[in-house]
Amino acid sequence: MNKRIVNLATAAVALLGAALLSACDDVKTDLKAPVYKTVLKEDETRMSAFKAAFPKEYASYQKNNETQVMTDYKGSIAYHKNDNINPPPHGFKHAQPYLKNLWLGYPFSFEYNEARGHTYAIEDFVNIDRLNRYGADGKALMPATCWNCKTPKMMTWYKQYGDKLWSMDANEFRAADKISGMDETINCANCHNPTNMALRLYSEPLKDWLKRTNQDWNKISRNEKRSLVCAQCHSEYYFTHKDNGPAAKPVFPWDEGMSADDMYRYYMGHGAKDASGKTGPFVDFKHAASGVPIIKMQHPDYEMFVDGPHGAAGVACADCHMQYQRVAGKKISSHWMTSPLKDQEMRACRQCHADKTADFLRARVIYSQKKVFDQLIKAEALSVKAHEAVRLAGAYAGDSAADYDTLMKQAVEMVRKGQLFWDYVSAENSVGFHNPAKSLDTLATSMESSRIAVDLALQATNYGISSAISGDIEKIVPPILEHSRKLMQSPEHLQNHPWLKLLKPFPAAPQVWDGQIRLTSEATAK
Amino acid sequence: MESPRNGLALKCLLSGVAVGVAFFCVLAYGMTTTDQRSFCASCHLMQEAAVTHKMGTHADRACNECHAPHNLLAKLQFKAQAGLHDFLANQSGKDLSCPATSTIRAVVNENCKSCHAQTNVTGAAMDAKFYCTECHRNVAHMRQKPLSTRMVAYE
């Protein structure tokens, strides 16, 4: 009995001693992410190859398949972003009804949906109506650059084709024997070096930008990398005009800065060269109603966020969108990249805002989002009015002002500017939260520009168009709810709306592509 | 006077005192060691707290100068209880409660006041806020700093 007590006591003392000894190392403050040695090759592009070695992160990434939950302004149901009439999944109460009008003559007028999880990137890509699926030759009428932010396969293809890749037709890579829709969608290899899982860039346009600004990935802090891996894709971009470099190569227009104003200045150049070799303004498309040369903005999430309250303070995308969580005793980064508002507990926010309740934090987000969304809808309506004023003034047969041409040139420029500014906010995915002040300021400038455009068009026609443009814009130019490549083949559909009447119908043609499946054989086309 | 019996008593007494002193020293050493960052951080869960502590202005103070009562009687019981709780919670894979429990916040706040009383003799510093760290926010483990400066994944 005594012996047992002595033994127990000795064991206890030994344990305590061992515990104290094992605990005498102080922590290191230079936090280093764990480094791994995998059996994977550097050019691995299949997501499934990573599953065995990284089951926790893999399982977390599969949560991106959730496609049911909406928040107040965002969520993961891929509804049509112009449809505020139908209930989800087709429409949503906070949709932007004028989008099809404002992009008339551009593929975005055919289909544009709410974004959802990375795991659906290719599935959504091969089902979108923006890529042509009706051409007998199977062509998408879009460059292969469209794949750039959809798959790590870009690395393979770029190695194979070099800069010729960009201007190949997007549909050349569409079939199931070219790419595995679910396994080679955006995945581990887009952000990680498969051999050691260190953060890495796959993106040519971001690597180009780092080169232009003399930055070296190896010297960039872990904190910045936690945003830059997202900036590979969540950025505004354009396709190089063939006069200025490899045709359709993607470029981030950041050389003047990252705000709407900086980009507006940037796009004064970088377009086609004229006969004398001078580079003109860049144009994404000519608006089908007003003829205004438009710049399309695309998800400038990084640019919006980087000088906002969080971005300027050094908070990274991953801080809020990839929160640390404990899984089976291990600490991992959540790989469910989605709306942080879906979490009832708002845990991602409370890693910093520990003293706030989830309800308070959510209310503060919506405080900004509601204001930005309401002003965005007004800015879009005013932009429609500006297009209509320029259209009417362009076709005006009455007595016009002596400086009509100058005034119209300025009016067109103001429509272009107004649209670039609201689109910068509209295309960005936080509804203002990533940068509330910049969002509202950008919308205010948008409205000012569109209003000036209306004034100039009125002046140019000696106010001859004033009665035609007065009153509720929703009555003068109603929102276009339905439009698609199929409907473009229907002359009756094009009689439904004053602006659709201005379009020439597509020739009747059957659908050639359904997802990754070709419905007609290539032989039939020839 | 030199009876063997007395010699034994003295020896017993002296060795008793020696054992007592040694025992007390071990206890005191153990109590002090288990107050320190290096001991606390031996659980991965405490990594963030330890890293931000080491980077902060209070780096040369022990964790328990803030996180346990200074009064020895209260401290002994508090440490035993908190230690047992944290041990069990860590075994079950639980994460830290966020924000810290009201018990811990109260203890920490008392310790703010006990060291910084002089600074606040004339000010009404405790009237407007419950806790000192509601203004001195980054004393609470640099919560406003980007996560990469505070945390890293671990296996």
Which of A19, A315, A324 is nearest residue B151 as measured by Cβ atoms? A324
ipTM: 0.89
In angstroms, rounded to a whole number, what is the distance separating the alpha carbons of residues B143 and B99? 11
Residue of A22, A31, A353 lying closest to B151 (CB–CB):
A31
Could B143 and A22 be called an inter-chain contact, meaning their C-beta atoms sit closer than 8 Å?
no
Which residue of chain B has the CA closest to A321?
Answer: B147
Hunting for tokens 């040694």 — which residue is that? B22
Closest alpha carbon to A119 in A156, A76, A88: A76
| Average pLDDT estimate for A224-230 | 98
Q: Which residue has the tokens 């089908």?
A: A288
Judge: B145–A16 Cβ closer than 8 Å, yes or no. no
Cα–Cα distances (Å) from A261 to A127, A233, A371, A418, B19, in that order, read 34, 21, 21, 11, 79
Residue of A31, A35, A192, A345 to mutate for B, most B C-beta atoms under 10 A? A31
pLDDT of residue B102: 87
Residues B41, A27: C-beta atoms closer than 8 Å: yes
Q: Where are the domains of chain B?
A: 9-149
pTM value is 0.94
Cβ contact, residue pair B47, A27, below 8 Å: yes
Mean pLDDT, chain A, integer? 95
Residue B143: closest C-alpha in chain A: A352
Set of chain B residues whose Cβ sits within 8 Å of the Cβ of A315: 146-147
pLDDT of amino acid A227: 98
Nearest to A329 by CA among B151, B147, B83, B90: B90
> B153, A331: Cβ pair inside 8 Å?
yes
Provide, as residue numbers in chain B, all residues whose Cβ is less than 8 Å from the Cβ of A19.
42
Task: Tell me the β-bridge partners of A239.
Answer: A250
Q: Nearest residue on chain A to B135, judged by CA atoms? A: A355
Tens digit of each residue's pLDDT (9 = 90 or more) over A140-162: 999 999 999 999 999 999 999 99
The reply to whether residue B154 touches residue A29, judged by beta carbons under 8 angstroms, is: no
Inter-residue contact A251 to A145 (CB < 8 Å): no
Residue B95: predicted pLDDT: 76
Report whether pLDDT(A11) > 70: no
| Distance in angstroms (rounded) separating the CA atoms of residues A325 and A153 | 30
Q: Residue A331: which of B44, B50, B144 has the nearest Cβ?
A: B44
**Given B51, B95, B143, which is nearest A31 (Cβ)?**
B51
Alpha carbon B151 to chain centroid distance?
Answer: 21
Counting one residue from A and one from B, how many pairs have CB atoms under 8 Å apart? 102
Cβ–Cβ of B149/A223 closer than 8 Å? yes
The pLDDT value given to residue A16: 63
Tens-digit pLDDT profile for residues A267-296? 999 999 999 999 999 999 999 999 999 999
Whether the per-residue pLDDT at A523 is higher than 70: the answer is no
Q: Taking CA atoms, what residue in B is nearest to A56?
A: B155
**DSSP letter assigned to residue A355:** T
- For the stretch A376-426, pLDDT in tens is 999 999 999 999 999 999 999 999 999 999 999 999 999 999 999 999 999
Residue of A26, A313, A319 with shortest CB distance to B38 = A26
* Residue A18 scores a pLDDT above 90: no
Distance in angstroms (rounded) separating the CA atoms of residues A277 and A274:
5
Return d(Cα A398, Cα A507) in angstroms, integer: 36
What does the CA dihedral A259, A262, A263, A267 come to, rounded to 10 degrees? 170
Mutate to test the interface with B, among A13, A25, A29 (most CBs of B within 10 A): A29
Helix (H, G, I), strand (E, B) or coil at A192: strand
Q: Which amino acid is at A95?
A: A
pLDDT in tens, A433-470: 999 999 999 999 999 999 999 999 999 999 999 999 99
Find the range with the poorest average confidence among A3-12, A116-125, A183-192, B14-23.
Answer: A3-12
Q: Do A22 and B42 touch (CB under 8 A)?
A: yes
Residues A91-96: what's their mean pLDDT?
98
Tell me how close the Cα of B52 comes to any Cα of chain A, in angstroms: 8
What sign has the CA pseudo-torsion A9, A10, A15, A21? Answer: positive
Distances (CA, A) of A209 to A87, A235, A253, A484, B98: 42, 12, 9, 35, 40
* DSSP bridge partners of A270: A281
Residue in this structure with the two tokens 């007390």, named with its chain if needed: B24
Tell me what pLDDT residue A5 has.
76
pLDDT of amino acid B155: 76
pLDDT of residue B129: 87
Closest-CA residue to A399 (of A308, A477, A461): A461
A331 contacts B38? CB cut-off 8 A: no
Predicted local distance difference test score (pLDDT) of residue A431: 98
pLDDT in tens, A172-202: 999 999 999 999 999 999 999 999 999 999 9
Classify B9-149 by CATH class: mainly alpha
What is the distance in angstroms between the Cα of A356 and the nearest Cα belonging to chain B? Answer: 9
Q: Which residues of B touch A347 (CB under 8 A)?
A: 98
Task: pLDDT band for A308, please (50, 70, 90 cuts).
Answer: very high
Q: What's the confidence (pLDDT) of residue A368?
A: 98
Which of B91, B96, B148 to mutate against chain A (most A CBs within 10 Å)?
B148
CA separation for the pair A257, A259 (Å, rounded): 6
Nearest chain A residue to B138, by CA:
A352
- Mean pLDDT is lowest, of A2-6, A51-55, A59-63, A370-374, for A2-6
Chain A residues whose CB is inside 8 A of the B152 CB are 31-34, 331
Residues of B with CB under 8 A from a CB of A: 30, 33-34, 37-39, 41-42, 44-45, 47, 50-51, 54-55, 93-95, 98-100, 134, 137, 140, 143-155
Per-residue tens of pLDDT for chain B, all 155 residues: 555 567 888 999 999 999 999 999 999 999 999 999 999 999 988 999 999 999 999 999 999 999 999 999 999 999 999 999 999 988 887 777 777 888 899 999 999 999 998 888 666 667 888 899 999 999 999 999 999 999 999 87
Numbered residues of chain A with Cβ closer than 8 Å to any chain B Cβ? 16, 19-20, 22-29, 31-34, 221-223, 226, 313-316, 318-319, 324-326, 328-333, 347, 350-355
Contacts of B38 in chain A (CB under 8 A): 23-27
Q: What's the pLDDT score for residue B3?
A: 54
Model confidence pLDDT, tens digit, residues A345-359: 999 999 999 999 999
State the Cα–Cα distance between residues A7 and A214, nearest whole angstrom. 67
Has residue A17 got a pLDDT over 70?
Answer: no
- Residue B60 Cα, gap to closest chain A Cα (Å): 12
User: In this model, does residue A22 exceed pLDDT 60?
Assistant: no
Chain A residue with minimum CA distance to B47:
A27
Answer yes or no: are the C-beta atoms of A438 and A374 closer than 8 Å: no
Taking an 8 Å cut-off on Cβ atoms, the answer to whether A324 and B153 are in contact is yes
